[in-house]
Amino acid sequence: MTAPLHGTALQESRLVGDSTGRVRQLRGFQKGFREPQEVTAATRTFVGRLGAAEVQERAERVFQELRTAFAYKRRELDLALADGAATVRTPDFDVNFWVEQDEEKPAAYRLVTQVASFRTPGVVEDERFLRLFGGYCDRVVIDFAQAFDLAAKIDLIEDLPELAPHLDYDAHGSWFTLSLPSPAIKIHVTRHRMVFALAAPGELRALLGHASAALAALGGAGARAALPGKG
């Protein structure tokens, strides 16, 4: 994705979702192991290795679901497993999987599914795509290739009566959140990332539609960006 966001180039746009649980519930957790009580480089690695079986199971299931839904041939799909992570590569996009430690709850894990590296414009509007990944993804994530000027964006939004009442940010200007009522979507922005999520649970089609509408609303504050798979 290369469309600008108020002069900021995009590095990547993707769909993300996760399921959570206690670390001790992972199949790699053995008698004598202890759940982490803090988050460190070592505990992150430990949790990632414990979840290898869950990652493989999820990746193999999605591989079969993709093959059935899109009628991909064997030579069009590739499943790679390595160090507790997995990737299914298709002609249209990649699907990545991994288990990570929850940064806010050290004794919990997150099994992440990420759809990225879109190669076919419009694929996210395909009914097959929407049905398949509606059960896995609930957020749109846009990474910036360079640091985003949060202070300038906050100032612009505060000057817009239709957006200012829905704006929140920290005292240091390291992030801001827009909780829009119509469309009902939450937008969280840091210097390096923008995340769209539905304010209430909903299907993937609604998320993409609301994210597109939210970007249009932000256009008045000088913000433009590309959604996953839309060029």
Mean of pLDDT values over 76-80: 97
The per-residue pLDDT for 52 is 96
* Nearest-5° Cα angle at 226, 222 to 231: 140
Report the share of the chain in percent with pLDDT over 90: 67
103 — phi, psi (to 5°)? -65, -25
In a domain, residue 227? The reply is no
Domain count, the chain: 1
Q: Does the structure show a pLDDT above 70 at 8?
A: no
140 — phi, psi (to 5°)? -105, 125
Q: Does the structure show a pLDDT above 90 at 133?
A: yes
pTM: 0.85
The per-residue pLDDT for 4 is 27
The per-residue pLDDT for 182 is 78
Q: Name the band, by pLDDT with cuts 50, 70 and 90, for residue 226.
A: low
Q: Does the structure show a pLDDT above 60 at 199?
A: yes
Q: Does the structure show a pLDDT above 80 at 201?
A: no
Taking residue 105's Cβ as centre, other Cβ atoms within 10 Å add up to 14
pLDDT digits (tens, 9 = 90+) for 87-128: 999 999 999 999 999 999 999 999 999 999 999 988 999 999
Q: Does the structure show a pLDDT above 60 at 19?
A: yes
**Residues in Cβ contact with 76 at an 8 Å cutoff, skipping those fewer than 6 apart:** 90, 91
* Nearest CA among 212, 20, 206 for reference residue 198: 206
Q: Does the structure show a pLDDT above 80 at 215?
A: no
In a domain, residue 162? The reply is yes
The per-residue pLDDT for 231 is 54
In a domain, residue 17? The reply is yes
In a domain, residue 230? The reply is no
Greatest alpha-carbon span in the chain: 58
The per-residue pLDDT for 2 is 24
Mean of pLDDT values over 56-60: 97
Average pLDDT over all residues of the chain: 87
Q: Which domain holds residue 184?
A: 4-221
